[in-house]
Every structure is written in structure tokens, then in C-alpha cells.
Amino acid sequence: MITIFVVSFGAFVATMLGGLFALRFKDKLHLILGFSAGAVIAVALFDLLPEALEMVIPSSFVMSCVAIGFFAYLILDRTLFNHSHHIGDGHAHENNRGVLSAGALIIHSFLDGVGIGLAFHVSTSLGMIVAAAVLMHDFSDGINTVNMVLRSGRNAAAARLWLVADAVAPVLGAASTMFFTLSSANLGTVLAVFAGFFLYIGASDLIPESHHNHPNFYTTALTLLGAFVLFVAIQFATL
């Protein structure tokens, strides 16, 4: 359990660094988001999905769970999360949307922490790989939280408060897994659902976010680099 808390604290640090980075270097965010997108997709394809296939039979059920995770996140993204890459037309609408989106990111960060805790129930190596993906994604969450709050018309002090809340969320999520356990089959099902989450986050959120304002070679190259780095890390972790 100590390892889970250490890693979840790493998620706290990653989120804080992402938010502080957003406040400091606004013109380079697309490169960081591009790398994170490749890393998150690689974890879904090269680690979570293979682990789920080993734990759950039949494989068709695993793929159905991946699809459920993907489309469930789509629904949340379009309704509860109310996510958009564009600023609203009116200031009041923009103000409310920014706060609601930042709050949704906090919920999402809590679920990231739950994912870390559940993965460590399977194995330390899987926990570390999932944690690596979450760390990279939480860095992006910190960036997005700050951007959403600032875009809503609030100042940097308010953005820092929301950033702290987002950073604490994965720690609380990981701690919550101390109070329940899952069988191997159920864990495999959860991992498959999280694979769907990660595929959506990477392909439908991080890649467009990194690319739509900066459609150049470097964002694409960093997405491929992110996938390659995580692929190599996964291979070493499973040796």
C-alpha cells in the first residue's frame, strides 16, 4: 500500500507541475499534449488490453468492455464533462462552462487514482505502467484545469486553487481502493473498461487538443514518441 500512496503522490506532483507549466509556458502546450496522447494510447493498446485478455474469457467480452468504456466516456464527455475545445460565445456561458469543466476534470483525476490502486492489486509491474500513463495524463489534466479556469475569466489565484483540488483527487482515488477488492476476472473487466477510457482520452481529446491549433510535424512526432517510449517501458516491465 505504501507504493500506491507514493505513486499517487507522484500523480499529485505531476498535476501540479502541469498546471504550473500552463501558467508559465502557454505557447508550448501542444507539444506536451501530443506526447501525452501517444503515451496514453500506448498503455491502452500494449498493456491494459493484453492484461485484460489474460484475465477474462472470452475475449469478445473484453472487447465489448473496451467499447463500453470508450462510449461511456464519450457520453460523459458530451454531457457531465461538457467538454469542448472552443470558448463559448457569451461571457456568462463561458464562465460557467469553465468551472464545470474544471470540476469534471477533478472527478476524472479521482478515477485515475482508482485505476492506479486497482492495477496494483494485479501486480506491481502493471501498477507502475498504469501509473506512468496516469502521471503523463495528469500532467495534461493540470494544464487543462488551469486553462479552463483562466478561460472562464478567473484569475491565476483561482486557477491555483482548482489545480490543488485536481492534484489531490488521484491521491484520494488511490486511497479508496484500500476498502474494496476485486477478483481476477472483475479486475480484467475493469482494466478493459479503462482501456476504453484511455483510447477515448488519447484519440478524441489529447490528439485534437494538441493538433488543432498547431497542425505541424512536431506535434505528430511527439505523439509517436510518446507511444514508443511507453511501449519500450512496458516491454521492460514485463521481462
pTM (2 d.p.): 0.68
User: What is the structure's pLDDT at 92?
Assistant: 44
Contacts of 87 (CB under 8 A, 6+ apart): 94, 151
What separation in angstroms does the CA of 134 have from each of 146, 161, 216?
Answer: 18, 21, 26
Judge contact between 37 and 137, C-beta under 8 A: no
Q: Which of 35, 45, 21, 85 is nearest to 192 (CA)?
A: 45
- For the chain, the residue count is 239
User: What is the structure's pLDDT at 45?
Assistant: 93
Residue-number span of the structural domain to which 108 is assigned? 2-237
* φ, ψ dihedrals at 194, nearest 5°: -65, -30
Cα angle: 133, vertex 136, 142; to 5 degrees: 135
User: What is the structure's pLDDT at 26?
Assistant: 64
**Which residue ranges in the chain fall short of pLDDT 50?**
85-94
User: What is the structure's pLDDT at 68?
Assistant: 97
Rama region for 61: left / alpha / beta (φ>0; ψ in -120 to 50; rest): alpha
The total of structural domains in the chain comes to 1
User: What is the structure's pLDDT at 212?
Assistant: 67
What separation in angstroms does the CA of 174 have from each of 5, 36, 194, 229?
Answer: 7, 21, 15, 25
